[in-house]
Structure 1
Amino acid sequence: MMRTLFLNPPSYAGFDGGAGARYQARREIRSYWYPTWLAQPAALVPGSKLVDAPPAGLALTDILPLARHHDLAVVHTSSPTFTGDVRVAEALKAENGDLTVGFVGPKVAVQPEESLQASAAIDFVAREEFDFTIAEVAEGRPLPCVDGISYRDRGGTVVHNPDREILEDMDLLPFVTPVYKRDLRVEDYYIGYLLHPYLSLYTGRGCRSRCTFCLWPQTVGGHRYRTRSVASVLAEAALARELFPQMKELFFDDDTFTDDRGRAEAIATGLARLGITWSCNAKANVPRETLQALRDNGLRLLLVGYESGSQQILINIKKGLRVERARRFAADCRELGITVHGTFILGLPGETKETIQETIRFARDVNPHSIQVSVAAPYPGTELYRQARENGWLPEDADGATLVSQDGTQLAALSYPHLGHTEILESVDAFYKRFYFRAGKIAEMSAELLRQPDMTARRLREGTEFVRFLNRRARTRKPA
């Protein structure tokens, strides 16, 4: 068995680029998702080590000594960080010339040949789901015998091995919580709308929705929702409670946990018996009776991708959602006392100044407890990326680096004849200000602090970070 290092490498300060991040970027407030996609194969490889550098505050100088004590380094990469991650791989190889380096993640899954050609330091890349692929490499199996990878042969020619069969029995995957306990410090992981400290898990992979912008289903997870058994999920939830008594909330990071409503209710019932407060992703079409059943069994918060308040844009991106249905869902959540964190995207195909205002009005009307406003990010491998290339919405020389600024903050990469990228980016700040800086929302958030005085210090920190973020971005847009 090769001594294996699983690495989410150092990157931009405060950059959330781990394998659980929806968008690899530096957020408005400090936010870190768990590197679950790395923890899963790490759990399959005995004696492995998982290092998540950004949340731990580790620099390259902290990572380099690890190269001398490992035979295999598995590096998670993304389009925005790829160039920097290649430099990390080259530095690791310089430290230990015998080290085998493999890259994983959606970037290399859809661009395996280009990724390998970027540097001789990359020995192989794993495509799509890579859990058992990496386990076989770590066992010492020769690269030509491992399905699901691309590599260079002795002559330097890139070879693409056959695809690995998609994993059907999700219960074959071991639990990730022991890896979290062994290698991570849970207090390092913050999400503004989740209780702290929180823990996140996947109970399944894949998403039935066909949203044109969404990265994971189009590159790694697929569009079929494959799930762990209820018993498996509840067993790991019980273990999480045992290993992390400080855990205040368990978050299920499946793209749409509520797609299988009967299963979601069964899991919720078991979580209630365990006394666990929990949250999950959801589409804004969950029936009221399901919402009530989940709430009655410990559900606290739903992370909901509204994306837009324009019905035409929802059609353009194949969201499969009606605006009026989303309004009814929001009203149901409010009446049932379920907290909602809503996410929105500006700059999607069909966006205009008018639809931006329509989305802002929609957000104020449905009034989730908190929001995240992103700009449309055309990641390679997505239908949005293909559309952008075909229609000239993306510069010809654009690469992953165009998705973020020099400090890792999201940029508006897309530009339309009627709506430029500067207008899109400026609209993000206007969205935030019109949503949060109003009397009703300020009163609502002040009341939260009165009800939960232990949250005061955290909210003040997050508020300060948020204001600094807006001011910093405003300064970067000023003409020289």
Structure 2
Amino acid sequence: MMRTLFLQPPSFDGFDGGAGSRYQAKREIKSFWFPTWLAQPAALVPGSRLIDAPPAKMGMDPILEDVKNRDLVIMHTSTPSFASDVRVAQMIKDANPKIMIGMVGAKVAVQPEESMKQGGPIDFVARNEFDFTIKEIAEGKPLAEVDGITWRNAEGEIIANKDRAMIEDMDSLPFVTEVYKRDLNINDYFIGYLKHPYISIYTGRGCKSRCTFCLWPQTVGGHRYRTRSPEHVAAEIRLAKQYFPEVQEFMFDDDTFTDDLPRAEAIAREMGKLGVTWSCNAKANVPYETLKVMKENGLRLLLVGYESGNQQILHNIKKGMRVEVAKEFTKNCHKLGIKIHGTFIVGLPGETKETIQETIAFAKEINPHTLQVSLAAPYPGTALHKQATENGWLNVDAAELIDENGVQIAPLHYPHLSHTEIFESVEEFYRKFYFRGSKIASILNEMIRSPQMMKRRLREGVEFFQFLKDRHAA
């Protein structure tokens, strides 16, 4: 077995490039997702180590010392961080010329040959789902015989092997919790709307929805929801409770946990038996009956991608959602006491100054507990990227989707809506939503009732205003 290091490389200060991230950028407040996509293959490779450098605030020196005793390094990369990650790979190669370096992630999955050409120190990239791909390489299987990779042979030729079949038996994957326990400090991971400390895992991969902007289903996970059994999920949460009794909340980070309603209810009942608090990603169409079962069995919060309050934009991005259904769903969540973290995107196809205001008004009307506003990001491999390229909406100078500080930029523009107008609408959205008397009162009440929450919200407030300051400087 090759001595293997799984690495989320150092990057911009506060940059959340973790494989679980919906988009890779510096957040409004300090936020780090667990590197679940790296932890999963790490769990398949005995004796491996996972280093998640950004949340650990780890620089290159200890990494370069570690790789001197490694045979294989697997780096997770992304479109925004790729150039930086290649530089890290070169530093690793300089420290250990004999080491083999592979990259994984959506960027190399959809642009394997281009990534190999741009990444001189990279020996191979893994396309699509890569867990067992990496396991086979770590076991010493010749690269020529490994499905699902694009690699460089001794003559420098770039070769694309045949695709790897998708994993059908999701229960065959070992628990990532074992890797979290072995290699990570869970207190390094923060998400503003989740309790701290938290742990996130996947209970399935893939998403039935066809949203044109969404990265993972179009590049790695696919559009079939392949799931673990409720019993398998419960067994991992039971183990996680044993390993991490301090955890306040478990997050099921599947793209859309509620894609399979009977299974969602079955897992909820298992969580109820375990007495844990949990949250998940959901589409804004979950029926009241399912919401009730989930709430009665420990559900605290739903992360919901509303994206826009304009019906035509939702049609344009193939969201498969009606505004009125989303309103009814949200009303039901409020009635049941389920908190919502709503996510919105400005700058999607069809966006105008008027639709931005319509979405802000929609957000204020449905009033999620918290929200996040992102700029439309056309990642390579997505339908949005293809559409933007074909229509001339994409600024080629903004292809990395972030600025030199890791802050998200507005790469799209339209004849009637400029980059600047889209970019500035994010701050306007936040201000109009949060700087309301009712919302301020709600936040203050939350802080008064919990000293821990007061400390946290004050820290987040400082970080948020610093984020706005950084955006002005961008």
Q: Same fold per TM (> 0.5)?
A: yes
Residue 416 (structure 1) aligns with: 414
Q: C-alpha separation between the residues in 2 aligned to 1:458 and 1:38?
A: 29
Residue 378 (structure 1) aligns with: 378
Q: C-alpha separation between the residues in 2 aligned to 1:473 and 1:141?
A: 47
CA shift, 1:397, in A, is 5.3
Residue 340 (1) aligns with residue 351 (2): no
Q: C-alpha separation between the residues in 1 aligned to 2:134 and 2:470?
A: 41
Residue 242 (structure 2) aligns with: 242
Report how many residues are paired.
474
SS in 1 for 2:420: helix
1:329-478 aligned at under 5 Å gives the runs 329-396=329-396, 398-400=398-400, 403-476=401-474
Q: C-alpha separation between the residues in 2 aligned to 1:97 and 1:190?
A: 36
1:193-212 aligned at under 5 Å gives the runs 193-212=193-212
Residue 26 (structure 1) aligns with: 26
Residue 10 (structure 1) aligns with: 10
Alignment RMSD: 0.8
Return the letter of the residue paired with 1:437: F
Residue 84 (structure 2) aligns with: 84
Q: C-alpha separation between the residues in 2 aligned to 1:161 and 1:410?
A: 34
Structure 1 segments (4+ residues) deviating >6 Å: none
TM-score by length of 2: 0.99
Cα distance change on mapping 1:396 and 1:408 into 2, 3 Å: closer
* Deviation by residue 1:310-331 (Cα, 9 ceiling, x = unmatched): 0000000000000000000111
Residue 299 (structure 1) aligns with: 299
* Deviation by residue 1:240-296 (Cα, 9 ceiling, x = unmatched): 100000000000000000111111111111111111100000000000111011000
Cα distance change on mapping 1:166 and 1:46 into 2, 3 Å: same
SS in 2 for 1:345: strand
Q: Contact (CA 8 Å) 2:196, 2:248: kept in 1 or not?
A: yes
Q: C-alpha separation between the residues in 2 aligned to 1:373 and 1:119?
A: 33
Q: C-alpha separation between the residues in 2 aligned to 1:62 and 1:461?
A: 29
Q: Contact (CA 8 Å) 2:258, 2:283: kept in 1 or not?
A: yes
1:131-146 aligned at under 5 Å gives the runs 131-146=131-146
Q: Contact (CA 8 Å) 2:314, 2:321: kept in 1 or not?
A: yes
Residue 70 (structure 1) aligns with: 70
Gaps of 5+ in 1: none
Q: C-alpha separation between the residues in 1 aligned to 2:116 and 2:473?
A: 38
Q: C-alpha separation between the residues in 1 aligned to 2:398 and 2:328?
A: 40
Q: C-alpha separation between the residues in 2 aligned to 1:65 and 1:465?
A: 33
Residue 170 (structure 1) aligns with: 170
1:308-347 aligned at under 5 Å gives the runs 308-347=308-347
Q: C-alpha separation between the residues in 1 aligned to 2:128 and 2:51?
A: 21
Return the letter of the residue paired with 1:14: G
Q: Contact (CA 8 Å) 2:277, 2:299: kept in 1 or not?
A: yes
Q: C-alpha separation between the residues in 2 aligned to 1:454 and 1:396?
A: 45
Return the letter of the residue paired with 1:234: A
Return the letter of the residue paired with 2:237: A
Q: C-alpha separation between the residues in 2 aligned to 1:17 and 1:392?
A: 28
Q: C-alpha separation between the residues in 2 aligned to 1:471 and 1:95?
A: 38
Return the letter of the residue paired with 1:456: M
Return the letter of the residue paired with 2:131: D
TM-score by length of 1: 0.98
Return the letter of the residue paired with 2:117: Q
SS in 1 for 2:78: coil
State the identity as a percent.
65
Q: C-alpha separation between the residues in 2 aligned to 1:61 and 1:47?
A: 22
Q: C-alpha separation between the residues in 1 aligned to 2:412 and 2:66?
A: 39
Q: Contact (CA 8 Å) 2:10, 2:58: kept in 1 or not?
A: yes
CA shift, 1:448, in A, is 1.1
